[in-house]
Structure 1
Amino acid sequence: MNIFDILGPVMVGPSSSHTAGAARIGLMTRKLLGAEPVEADIRMYGSFAATGKGHGTDRAIIAGLLGMEPDDMRIPESFAIAEKEGMKFTFGTADLKGAHPNSVVLHVKGKNGRERKVQACSLGGGRIMINELDGIELNCTCEMPTIVVNHVDQPGRVAEVTTMLSMLSINIATMSVYRDRRGGRAVMVVELDQEIDGSVLNILQSLKGILKVTYISTGGK
């Protein structure tokens, strides 16, 4: 535990879970999309749906999608900024079973034509968890440099990725693999001890059976 676990994050209030966490969910969704969002359908659940408007959860999510960090003083003006930048968005409620009470589902589209559907929750203190990505359940905190690899569920895919990272002298901190069904779509979530550049992603993308590679950096937008 560090001092920020006790005091909470540096943020624009009023709530670390409903505001700071929401902004971080939006920002991580933007990173997973890998592009500037142009459309966003946002469905809130539980406490997010019941009290989110009063806590600025809606504005915080949009701010994150615009690339703002939780301490950005422009968060209260995010709706106006989104309109100025041409990003369309809608809000509604989600019908989820057994989800964390501070949960939200985002279906976003980017300028590059890519789409992502992300289910995430705010755990408190500004910490978040990505619970589902494009219909596949996973658990990703986005607190370390992370590679998200969408791939075909076939023998050898995981070994090829880890071998390539080893050859590039990139150390894996943790790794988890998820799939929708045997032989279907799968996702590797690989947390790293170091930041990487785009050349690594290009190499991984070229491997057989790899559908999509996304990098979540702990810095930048």
Structure 2
Amino acid sequence: MKYKSVFDIIGPIMIGPSSSHTAGAARIGRVARNLFGREPKWAVISLYGSFAKTYKGHGTDVAIVGGLLDFDTFDERIKESLEIARKKKIRIKFQEEQAVTDHPNTAKIQLGDENGELELVGISIGGGKIEIIELNGFVLKLSGHNPAILVVHDDRFGAIASVSNVLAKHRINIGQMDVSRKEKGKMALMTIEVDQNIEDHIISEIACLPNITQVTRIVD
């Protein structure tokens, strides 16, 4: 079930006109910004399906860029996000893709600066709700609506259990957990959505575990 209440169906407080094409798009952009951890210097935004056909009229372009600027769905600055990005000298490029995707409201965001890059694929599933379905080549399922941690780790016995044990010790309840790997025995990614924000010292404890390469937190 995708919706927990009537307010999920109506959609969030937002800058219009569409919860799917505007609020959802802004949230996809904001999750990308959150995962990147800082303001990017450039972004290439590839739009598919309905997003590609209507993005200018429905404000999908300004919404995604607003998200990259860390604006929430109701932030009035979203309307001026393209101009704000230009003034900040953030290079933005939109691409209308012809490929057929599983969901009509799909966006791929590639962003970066001199210190690194990130690639993310997200879909807007309606009512302002989203799912992140790919991150740097890893397949995942992330709603973007709950606190979460992404744990890059070596695909080794006990890695998942050790992270779960740390969360249990600190009474952090796991709402959803997925594990993705590109190749057996190589690098893998844990996506863990939890019921409350995770404090810095818990993140540090997980990062120090054997076979853990990187821990990234997404706050609510």
TM-score by length of 1: 0.92
Q: Provide the residue aligned with 1:65 in structure 2.
A: 68
- Distance apart, 1:99 and its partner CA: 2.5
Equivalent residues in 2 for 1:84-163 (5 A)? 84-94=87-97, 96-110=99-113, 113-163=115-165
Q: Take 1:157 and 1:94, find their aligned partners in 2: how far apart are those partners?
A: 38
Residue number in structure 2 paired with 1:190: 192
Q: Which amino acid aligns with 1:62?
A: V
Contact kept? 2:52, 2:96, Cα under 8 Å = yes
CA distance in structure 2 between the aligned counterparts of 1:137 and 1:96, rounded to whole angstroms: 19
Q: Matched residue of 1:108: which SS?
A: strand
* Equivalent AA in structure 1 for residue 137 of structure 2: G
State the SS of the aligned residue for 1:54.
coil
Q: 1:194 to 1:15 in 2, by over 3 A?
A: same
Whether the 8 Å contact between 2:111 and 2:119 is mirrored in structure 1 is: yes
Conserved in 1, the CA contact under 8 Å of 2:206 and 2:212?
yes
| CA distance in structure 2 between the aligned counterparts of 1:196 and 1:26, rounded to whole angstroms | 22
Match of 2:39 among 36, 39, 46: 36
Distance 1:94 1:135, change over 3 A: farther
Matched with 2:212 is 210
Query: What stretches of structure 1 move > 3 A for 4+ residues in a row?
Result: 94-98
- Matches of 1:210 and 1:96, distance apart in 2: 36
Deviations 1:106-147 (A, max 9, x none): 111157x23211000101110000010110111110221111
Unpaired segments ≥5 residues, structure 1: none
The percentage of aligned residue pairs carrying the same residue is: 43
Further displaced range: 157-166 or 62-71: 157-166
Q: Contact 2:49–2:101 at 8 Å: present in 1 too?
A: no
TM-score, length basis structure 2: 0.93
Secondary structure class of the residue paired with 2:149: strand
Q: Distance in 2 between matches of 1:142 and 1:68?
A: 15
* CA pair 45-184 structure 1, distance change in 2 beyond 3 A: same
1:67-87 deviations in Å (ceiling 9; x for gaps): 001111111100111122232
Q: For the Cα contact (< 8 Å) 1:33–1:110, is it kept in 2?
A: no
- CA displacement, residues 187-220 of structure 1 (integer Å, 9 cap, x when unaligned): 11111121122222222122222222111111xx
1:76 and 1:203 mapped to 2: Cα distance? Answer: 41
Counterpart of 2:9, as a letter, is I
Count of equivalent residues: 217
Which residue identity does 1:164 align to in structure 2?
V
Q: What SS does the aligned partner of 1:74 have?
A: helix
Q: 1:199 aligns with which of 198, 201, 210?
A: 201
Which of 26, 37, 52 is equivalent to 1:49?
52
